[in-house]
Structures are given as structure tokens and as C-alpha cells.
Amino acid sequence: MPNELTLSIIKPDAVSKKLIGTIIKRFEEEKIKIAAMRMKRLTKPEAEGFYAEHKGKPFFDSLVSFMTSGPVVLMVLQGDNVILKNRDIMGATNPANADEGTLRKLFAESIEKNAVHGSDSPKSAEREVSYFFKKEELVNL
Ligand code: ADP
Ligand code: MG
């Protein structure tokens, strides 16, 4: 779809490895617009709510603990087909399965500490963008 929005998160592992600039540079090189951006340390309830679809899975508690372990960068990315485009740039959840050159292949250290988040569908993008950002926070690009 033209002119989509999607939520991107630079996760605590990538922030602590000083990869913020490298990851943002990649989005800019791929002609993706950044419509909003904020650094934040997620609270436990925020992380639990964000990942509610995974509640009850064996990795849930560890995932919440990881996502609250340090600051993250929250971004709204904007562009034509940006939801799928961002997922392609990220690569597979497990870096062992991620294609060469993807952010997760390059920077993830495990299936959990995998550097970046990206919304996986128009429905999740809408929920996730509004989970962290008000409409007024998006710049008019
Ligand atoms: P994605 O982030 O690629 O959309 P999922 O929505 O399936 O992947 O999972 C959300 C996040 O939970 C992953 O990015 C990863 O950090 C973590 N995760 C997923 N599967 C596992 C697993 N089997 N073991 C540990 N952590 C996992
Ligand atoms: Mg997902």
C-alpha cells in the first residue's frame, strides 16, 4: 500500500552496542522516512502490553525482561509498502535463518536479542504505532 506507517524499535541489545546510527542510516539509505522518533526505557507493563500476543509462550517473561533491560529507540517509519519493506530489511526473527545483509543477520546475537522490531501487518502496525505515539507526534513529511 502507498504511504504506510510502521513501528520500528531498536532493541536494548543494539542500543547498548552503539548501533543506533548505523540502523537509522540503513533506513535512510533505503529511502524510508522517519515520521517520529523517541528514546525510552520501557516499563514492564508497557513491554507486556506491547507483546500481549505472545503472553503464555515460554519465551514471554524473558522477552519482557530483555526489552526492559535498557533504553530502546521507538520510531515510526513511513513510505510505500514500508511494513513489508522494513520486515525484509530486518530479516528473520532467528538470525541463524536471516538473509545476508539484513539487520538481524548483521547485528542480532540470538533469537531473543535480535536488534530490531518491526510491525508484521497493517493491523499490527496500526496498533503498535498508536501504542507509543499520538497522531500529533508524527511529522508531516
Ligand atoms: P518478530 O519480532 O520477528 O515479529 P515474533 O513476533 O515471533 O518475532 O517474536 C517477538 C520477539 O520475541 C522476537 O523478535 C524475539 O525478540 C522474541 N522471540 C521470538 N521467538 C523467540 C524464541 N523462540 N525464543 C526467545 N525469544 C523469542
Ligand atoms: Mg512479531
Reported as a single tens digit per residue, the pLDDT across 11-25 is 999 999 999 999 999
State which of 57, 68, 114 you would mutate to test the pocket of ligand 1, scoring each by most atoms of that ligand within 8 A of its C-beta: 114
Which residues carry out catalysis? Answer: 117
State yes or no: pLDDT of 49 exceeds 80: yes
Q: Is the CB of 111 under 6 A from ligand 1?
A: yes
Share of the chain above pLDDT 90, in %: 99
State yes or no: pLDDT of 48 exceeds 70: yes
| Nearest protein Cα to ligand 1, atom 1 | 93
| Averaged pLDDT score across all residues of the chain | 98
pLDDT at 140: 76
State yes or no: pLDDT of 141 exceeds 80: no
Q: Shortest CA distance to 24 belongs to which of 136, 114, 115, 100?
A: 115
In one letter, which amino acid is 86? N
Q: 31 alpha carbon to ligand 1 midpoint, in Å?
A: 26
State yes or no: pLDDT of 41 exceeds 90: yes
Please name which ligand lies nearest the alpha carbon of 51.
1
